[in-house]
Amino acid sequence: MLRRFRYLISLPLLGFSLIALGSPVLSQAQSQLPYWTEAAPATVARQELYPEVLNNKIYVVGGLLSPATGFSAHFESYDPVNDTWTVLRPLPEARHHITLSAAKGLLYGMGGFTGGFPDWRAQPTMFIYNPASNTWTRGTDLPTARAEGVAAVVDDKIYLIGGRIRATEDARLFNDHIDSVRNEVFDPTTRRWSARANAPTARNSAASAVIDSKIYVVGGRKFVKNADGTTQQVNVPKLEVYDPKLDRWETRSPLPQARGGLAATSFNGKLYVFGGEQWVPEQKVFAESWVYDPATDAWEALLPLPTPRHGLGASTIGNRIFVFGGGTKTGGNAATTIHEVLVLP
Domain boundaries, the chain: 41-343
* Beta partners for residue 200, in sequence order: none
Vertex 130, ends 265 and 111: CA angle to 5°?
60
Radius of gyration of the chain (CA): 19
Average pLDDT in the chain: 91
pLDDT digits (tens, 9 = 90+) for 283-332: 999 999 999 999 999 999 999 999 999 999 999 999 999 999 999 999 98
Q: What pLDDT shows up at residue 9?
A: 37
Residue 341: other Cβ atoms inside 10 A: 21
Architecture of the domain defined by 41-343: 6 Propeller (2.120)
Which long-range CB contacts under 8 A does 127-135 form with residues at least 24 apart? Answer: 127/91, 127/92, 127/93, 129/59, 129/61, 129/75, 129/88, 129/89, 130/106, 131/54, 131/55, 131/105, 131/106, 131/107, 132/105, 134/88, 134/89, 135/89
The number of residues making up the chain comes to 345
pLDDT digits (tens, 9 = 90+) for 158-189: 999 999 999 998 999 989 999 999 999 999 99
> Shortest CA distance to 42 belongs to which of 277, 315, 253?
315
> Shortest CA distance to 330 belongs to which of 305, 307, 310?
310
The whole-number average pLDDT for the span 79-95 is: 98
Q: Which amino acid is at 7?
A: Y
